[in-house]
Amino acid sequence: MLYLPELKLNNMKKLLSLAVILCLSFSVNAQIEAPQPSPFGKLEQKVGLTDVTIEYSRPGMRGRTIFGDLVPYGEVWRTGANANTKITFSDDVKINGKELKKGSYAIYTVPSEDSWEVMFYSATDNWGAPQKWDESKVALKATAETMEMPMPMETFTIVVDDLKNDSASLNFIWESTIAMLKMEVPTDTKTMASIEKVMNGPNANDYFAAGTYYHEAGKDLEKAYKWVSKATEMAGDQAFWMLRRKSLIEAEMGKKQEAIATAKKSMASAEKANNADYVKMNKESIAEWGGSK
C-alpha cells in the first residue's frame, strides 16, 4: 500500500518521462525543409537499346568564376557537388573508343583550359573525391574535347545528346565550357541477336521491325525489302505505315513505279485512318518520284 507522498512522486516521474518523449518527438518532426544550394538531379536516357542513368548534384555559378577558380585546373573534381556523380550503363559500352563494362561508376574529372580528363571510378560511395585515390579503381580514362559556349550555363548540367541508334555524346556543361565524350552502345549486336531469335516464328510486326532496322542501318536492302514485303502481305493494306516503309525501300532500289503504286496504297489507307501526316508524306514522295499527287 502506497502513501500519498509516494503516489505524487510516481505521478511526477511519469509526467516528466512523458514530457521528455514529447520534446524528443517534436524535435525530430519539426525539422525545417529548405531547398538545397546544389539540388539533386537524375537523368534517364535510352541510347539505342541501352539504358543510361546519371545521378548528380547541380551547383550554380551564383556570380562566381568557375573553371580556373572555384574548380581549379589540373585537380580532381567531383564533377558536380555533394556525393559523387554516378553513371550507370545497362550494357557494355565504349567511351571514346575504349571498352567500359556495364555497371555503375563515379565520374571524376580533371579540367584544363583546352580539354578534360574524365575518369570512370568503380567505387561510387564517396562524398566528393575519395580521401585516398585508388588508381586500381579507375576503370577507364578518356580525354574530353572542350568548346566555348556562346552563352554561359548558370547551373552545372550533364546531358546525353546527339542521339543515334548506336551512339550518343556525353556532355558536361557549366559556365562557358562544354566538355564532350563519344559514347557507343551495342545496338547492332543486340538487334541482330533479337532478329535471329524472333525470325524463327515471326509475325507481321517482327518482319516489319527487322526490315526497318536493316533499311535504316544501311544493311542488306534486298533482305529489308523481302521482310517488309512479307509484313505488308500479312498485315494487309490497312497497315499504311508498313506500306510507306516498303515504298521508301522500293524507291531506294530504283523501282520508282512500284514505289509510287505502294505509296498511293499507303496514302489511301492513311486517309481512311485520318492520319494526315502519312497522307502528306506520301503525297510529297509521289511527287518527288515523278507520279501525280
Which sequence spans correspond to the domains of the chain?
40-184, 187-288
Give the position of cell 524463327.
Answer: 200
| Mean pLDDT, rounded, of the chain | 90
CB 240 within 8 A of CB 266: yes
| Pairwise pLDDT comparison (269 vs 5), residue with the higher score | 269
| pTM for this predicted structure | 0.70
CATH of 187-288 among 3.30.420.40, 1.25.40.10, 3.40.50.720, 3.90.650.10: 1.25.40.10
CA 219: distance to chain centroid?
A: 26
pLDDT, position 200: 79
pLDDT value of residue 15: 54
Amino acid at 226: K
Q: What is the pLDDT of residues 86-140, one digit of tens each?
A: 999 999 999 999 999 999 999 999 999 999 999 999 999 999 889 899 999 999 9
Is the pLDDT at 285 greater than 80, yes or no?
A: yes
**The pLDDT of residue 25 is above 70:** no
In the predicted structure, residue 166 carries a pLDDT above the cut 50: yes
**Segment 170-197 mean pLDDT:** 95
Determine contact, residues 283/293, Cβ cutoff 8 Å.
yes
Q: What percent of the chain has pLDDT over 90?
A: 80
Residue holding cell 542501318? 217
